[in-house]
Structure 1
């Protein structure tokens, strides 16, 4: 069954598909700023006005914030057209979230400093939930920053349903970012999506094409370059690759019938779950593809559900310590 999307975030209207900036500032293969700006402009032209970046997307001197500053220095007229969400409060040296009031304030003030007035942060998200700090304490600190006008709203990432309710009781939560895709439908059954819909919180879906799985580009484990980070992700492992590709092949059949690409079907499915997908790409033509909606009727949704039931995905999303930080 299709669900309505909450398309107002921090008092602003967002399009049905957003854009994730991570790929443009990845440290192992960054995109030059002039080229990245063209891709971002293409996203905005396609109606993808919800932009999602991170303070740890790239090195400290060249992360999403620096790219955004460059973009809006050169395109100041676009600053009011987008809804900007920034993830932070995460220590990349120890790979742990930092939800204390001091860490929250330091992260937000650093983000504001780097952006230097070129664009406002509409939503600041804690990249993960710091389980050593009560969520009420973290949200109270963020609420003070909203009151001061440093950020427009508060977001959470990878929070479970109970945490979302506790946070929302302290201050309205503008958005919750979770992984949601045909490979990762868990938020539909663990209460996260239902809770967000009940409370009027926008659901932001990262990795809607499952880190490239649902583009159809990877057809064997050998297709993944030796230095590609996906080599370290359990779902791309040689021991499970063939099992997981069965789901891709089945979705390809649906895409052919719909006259669409696998990615378009995958993104359309996420939208029908009442979420705003934020696919990321370093190619302008892919942006256009990702923003082209494919109508999915109830029969299509039922078929995709049968595919997920028939071909369960093998392997954890991240594995190890990173897996333990999910759904907290």
Structure 2
């Protein structure tokens, strides 16, 4: 293991590397490709290379695949389970064949069912960090978190968190059982958690923040120059950021960020990840290829000054319209 900096995630005792690995793209999701073709052998090699570089914080979910992602991770970490920190998520109701993921379910019974299934798929007897993937609006969050709390008491889960939730929900949940982390999409192109005061709430309560898609679903890599560059069966085709006039407005902003990256002689993706780290958060860029994994992890060595951070944020100020992070935002609790 390298000396990748370790940071406290929240205030409940969990320590993680300053950058994690998002694993969703390694298997796709619900029959859709995510960021192109997947290759199991290369995906496992990516997880192993991450570990060699100190990146042992893996992020998955039962929805990814479904189930195949957790099973892939189980295979990759076989024999070294206690050397990895595994975060997984639940909340989209599915049967054991992966069918029926149309609605969210945070009921006590489903929490237990989903956790037991993830434990089997991961081939482990504990989950380091267990998130509610999306809020179930028909179940009080207190009921869901109480059930998650029971999993902690049973030793099946070590820490708990929520994904894509607003300040009021966070406060209500935290009263039932201390949250370790909240996960939301966050990048130079997606800062709604700042605009709505969510990050301030987390700071006040001592809850960590995990930023998924810190490269804007691959947009900030600069490799996509036209919407048509995205394969027809890639889910990004349906995201507002990648559509029509909005896409080209975003490209103009990206070109300004690229100028700064060139001045600093770093890849634009590294600059974007370094910005998230400089803000005090833990990014989990997703990749399934060793080449990009090495590039992403090296971003953790880049130190940005306060002036650098301010300059980046002046290019894309808070409130800049860059396109919603989902075509349908109904599952996002703001």
TM-score (norm 1): 0.91
8 Å CA contact retained: 1:209, 1:263: yes
Question: Which residue number corresponds to residue 302 of structure 1?
Answer: 310
SS at match of 2:263: helix
Q: 1:263 aligns with which of 249, 265, 269?
A: 269
Distance 1:171 1:306, change over 3 A: same
Q: 2:48 aligns with which of 41, 44, 47?
A: 41
Measured in 1, the distance between the counterparts of 2:277 and 2:158 equals 24
Distance 1:224 1:116, change over 3 A: closer
Q: How many residues are matched?
A: 317
Deviation (angstroms), 1:94 = 4.6
**Of 306-315 and 244-253, the range deviating more from structure 2:** 306-315
8 Å CA contact retained: 2:42, 2:290: no
8 Å CA contact retained: 1:5, 1:202: no
Unpaired stretches in structure 2, ≥5 consecutive residues? 1-5, 95-99
Deviation (angstroms), 1:289 = 0.7
Question: Which residue number corresponds to residue 84 of structure 2?
Answer: 82
Measured in 1, the distance between the counterparts of 2:63 and 2:286 equals 16
Is 1:312 the counterpart of 2:320? The answer is yes
Distance 1:223 1:311, change over 3 A: farther
**Of 282-291 and 304-313, the range deviating more from structure 2:** 304-313
Is 1:213 the counterpart of 2:219? The answer is yes
Measured in 1, the distance between the counterparts of 2:161 and 2:319 equals 33
**Of 29-38 and 295-304, the range deviating more from structure 2:** 29-38
Aligned-pair Cα RMSD in Å: 2.0
Measured in 2, the distance between the counterparts of 1:143 and 1:80 equals 22
Is 1:113 the counterpart of 2:120? The answer is yes
Measured in 2, the distance between the counterparts of 1:168 and 1:255 equals 39
Deviation (angstroms), 1:225 = 2.3
Question: Which residue number corresponds to residue 176 of structure 2?
Answer: 170
Distance 1:86 1:30, change over 3 A: farther
Measured in 2, the distance between the counterparts of 1:57 and 1:9 equals 28
Deviation (angstroms), 1:327 = 3.1
**Of 153-162 and 8-17, the range deviating more from structure 2:** 8-17
Q: 1:187 aligns with which of 169, 182, 193?
A: 193
Unpaired stretches in structure 1, ≥5 consecutive residues? none
Deviation (angstroms), 1:313 = 3.4
Is 1:244 the counterpart of 2:239? The answer is no
TM-score (norm 2): 0.89
8 Å CA contact retained: 2:12, 2:178: no
Deviation (angstroms), 1:133 = 0.9
